[in-house]
Structure 1
Amino acid sequence: MDGHDAVVLAGGAARRLGGADKPGVRVGGRALLDRVLAACSGAATTVVVAEPRPTARPVEWAREDPPGGGPLAALDAGLAHTAAAYVVVLSADLPFLDEGTVERLLTALQDAGTEGVLLTDSDGRDQPLVAAYRSVALRRGLAALRAEHGELTGLPLRRLTGALELTRITDPVASFDCDTWDDIAAARARIREHGNVLDEWITAVKDELGIDLDVDTGTLLDLARDAAHGVARPAAPLTTFLVGYAAAQAKGGPEAVAEAARKATALALRWAAEADDGTAPPPTTPSGTGTGSGTDSGTGTAAPEAGTGSGTDTGTAAPEARRDAG
Structure 2
Amino acid sequence: MNSNEPAAYDAVVLAGGGARRLGGADKPGVRVGGRALLDRVLGACADARATVVVAAPRPTPRPVLWTREEPPGAGPVAALDAGLRRVTQDDVLVLSADLPFLAPDTVRRLLTALRSGGAEGALLTDADGRDQPLVAAYRTTALRRELAVLTTSHGNLTGLPLRRLTAGLDLARVPDPVGSFDCDTWDDIATARARIREHDHVLDEWISAVKDELGVDLDVDTGVLLDLARDAAHGVARPAAPLTTFLVGYAAAQAGGGPEAVAEGARKAAALAVRWAQEAEKEAGQEAGRDKAAETGGPGPDAG
Q: Same fold (TM over 0.5)?
A: yes
Tell me the equivalent position of 1:186: 191
Distance in 2 of aligned mates of 1:7 and 1:231: 50
In structure 1, runs of 5+ residues without a counterpart are 285-326
TM superposition shift of 1:20: 0.6
State how far apart, in whole Å, the 2-side matches of 1:200 and 1:23 are: 18
Using the alignment, how far apart are the partners of 1:242 and 1:152 within structure 2?
A: 56
What is aligned with 2:297? none
* Residue among 20, 24, 27 paired with 1:19: 24
DSSP 3-state at the match of 1:109: helix
2:287 is the counterpart of 1:281: yes
Query: Which of the pair has more CA radius of gyration?
Result: 1
In the TM superposition, residue 280 of structure 1 has moved relative to its aligned partner by: 3.8
Paired amino acid for 1:262: R
Q: What letter is aligned with 2:239?
A: P
Q: CA deviation at 1:252?
A: 3.1
- CA deviations 1:137-160 (Å, max 9, x no partner) are 000000011111111111100001
Give the superposition deviation at 1:116.
0.4
Paired amino acid for 1:221: L
Residues 250-286 of structure 1: CA deviation (Å, up to 9, x unaligned)? 003111111110110000001001111245426x9xx
1:93 corresponds to 2:98: yes
Q: Please report how far the alpha carbon of residue 174 of structure 1 lies from its aligned counterpart in structure 2 after TM superposition.
A: 0.7
Given the alignment, which residue of 116, 119, 129 partners 2:134? 129
Structure 1: which amino acid aligns with 2:233? A
Measure, in 2, the Cα distance between the counterparts of 1:112 and 1:194.
38
Secondary structure of residue in 2 paired with 1:112: coil
Distance 2:195 2:56 in 1: 30
The code of the aligned residue for 1:29 comes to G
TM-score by length of 1: 0.85
Give the match for residue 168 of structure 1: 173
Q: 2:209 aligns with which of 194, 204, 209?
A: 204
Q: Which of 258, 265, 272 matches 2:270?
A: 265
Q: CA RMSD in A?
A: 1.3
Q: State the AA in 1 paired with 2:110.
A: L
Distance 2:208 2:182 in 1: 19
Partner Cα distance (1:84, 1:66) in 2? 26
Structure 2 gap segments, 5+ residues each: 1-5, 291-304
1:113-152 per-residue CA deviation (whole Å, 9 max, x = no partner) reads 2100000000001000000000000000000111111111
| 3-state SS of 1:127 partner | strand
Secondary structure of 1:222's partner? Answer: helix
- Per the alignment, residue 241 of structure 1 pairs with 246
1:59 is matched with which residue?
64
The one of 116, 121, 125 equivalent to 1:116 is 121
> For the residues of structure 1 that align with 2:107 and 2:212, how far apart are their CA atoms?
18
Q: SS where residue 154 of structure 1 aligns?
A: coil
CA drift of 1:91 comes to: 0.2
Identity %: 76
Equivalent positions of 1:32-43 (< 5 A) are 32-43=37-48
What TM-score comes out, normalization by structure 2 length? 0.91
CA shift for structure 1 position 200: 0.3
Inter-partner Cα distance in structure 1 for 2:91 and 2:115: 9
In structure 1, C-alpha distance between the alignment counterparts of 2:103 and 2:41, rounded to whole Å: 7
1:178 shift after superposition? 0.1
SS of the residue 1:12 aligns to? coil
Higher helix share: 2
Partner of 1:232: 237
d(CA) in 2 for partners of 1:279, 1:92: 61
**Relative contact order (alpha carbons < 8 A, sep ≥ 6): 1 or 2 greater?**
2
> How far has the Cα of 1:239 moved from its partner?
0.3
